[in-house]
């Protein structure tokens, strides 16, 4: 027996389609950068991305890396995070679970904090409303940074 009906919920749009939707070209550089984020995952600096590309024998200039990190940011594919080390870091949104960061103030190590749930939702929903009323802002996202000492530094 053959099942003819296959439920496909939220089939993710291909990167090519995403670029197309933004009237941007799906160039090799851009694909390669996204590949790095999909493989290496979290919070990479421009230099990190550049090094990973070199390691993979993909020749992409550092300027192109910067330009495309910014583009991907504006397209909503990456988000920018900052750990106070003097450079910007980027994370991919789609493949990574939404999370926050725990930063060692001694050595700079950064750990992702995933899996905060309902309680967080409720807490932030309340704050969001408060800001929208008190300050007149529309809040569309937030980020929590925790600071402390990692196992080795404590």
Partner DNA sequence: ATAAGTGCAAAGGATTTGCGATGGG
Partner DNA sequence: CCCATCGCAAATCCTTTGCACTTAT
Residues found near a copy of itself in the complex (CB under 8 A): 80, 82, 84, 88, 102, 104-105, 111, 113, 116, 119-120, 123, 126-128, 131, 135-151, 154
Determine the Cα–Cα distance for residues 67 and 119; give it in Å rounded to an integer. Answer: 38
> Which of a copy of itself, DNA, none has residue 39 at its interface (CB below 5 to 8 Å by kind)?
none
Q: At what angle do helices 62-74 and 28-40 cross, to 10 degrees?
A: 80
Token pair belonging to 31: 């694909």
Of the pair 51, 132, the CB lying nearest DNA is at 51
From 99, 92, 103, select the one nearest 68 (Cα to Cα): 92
User: Which residues in the 9-38 window bind DNA by CB under 7 A?
Assistant: 16, 19-20, 24-30
Q: Which is nearer to a copy of itself, 13 or 132 (CB)?
A: 132
* 45: nearest Cα among 74, 12, 85: 85
What are the structure tokens assigned to 133, written together? 């009323």
Residue 93 annotated as binding site = no
- At residue 44, the 3 state secondary structure works out as strand
Q: How many residues bind DNA (CB under 7 A)?
A: 26
- Positions touching DNA (CB under 7 A) are 16, 19-20, 24-30, 45-47, 59-64, 66-68, 70, 86-88
* Residues of each annotated binding site for Fe cation: 119
């Amino acid at each position: 027996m053959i099942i003819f009906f296959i439920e496909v919920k939220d089939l993710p749009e291909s990167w090519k389609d995403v670029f197309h939707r933004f009237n941007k070209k799906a160039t090799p550089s851009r694909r390669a950068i996204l590949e790095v984020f999909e493989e290496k995952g979290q919070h990479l600096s421009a230099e990190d991305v550049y090094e990973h590309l070199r390691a993979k024998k993909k020749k992409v200039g550092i300027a192109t890396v910067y330009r495309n990190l910014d583009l991907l940011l504006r397209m909503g594919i990456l988000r920018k995070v900052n750990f106070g080390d003097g450079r910007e870091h980027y994370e991919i949104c789609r493949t990574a679970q939404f999370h926050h960061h725990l930063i060692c103030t001694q050595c700079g190590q950064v750990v992702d904090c995933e899996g905060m749930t309902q309680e967080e939702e409720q807490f932030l929903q309340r704050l969001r409303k408060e800001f929208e009323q008190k300050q007149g802002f529309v809040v569309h996202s937030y980020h929590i940074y925790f600071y402390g000492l990692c196992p080795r530094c404590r």
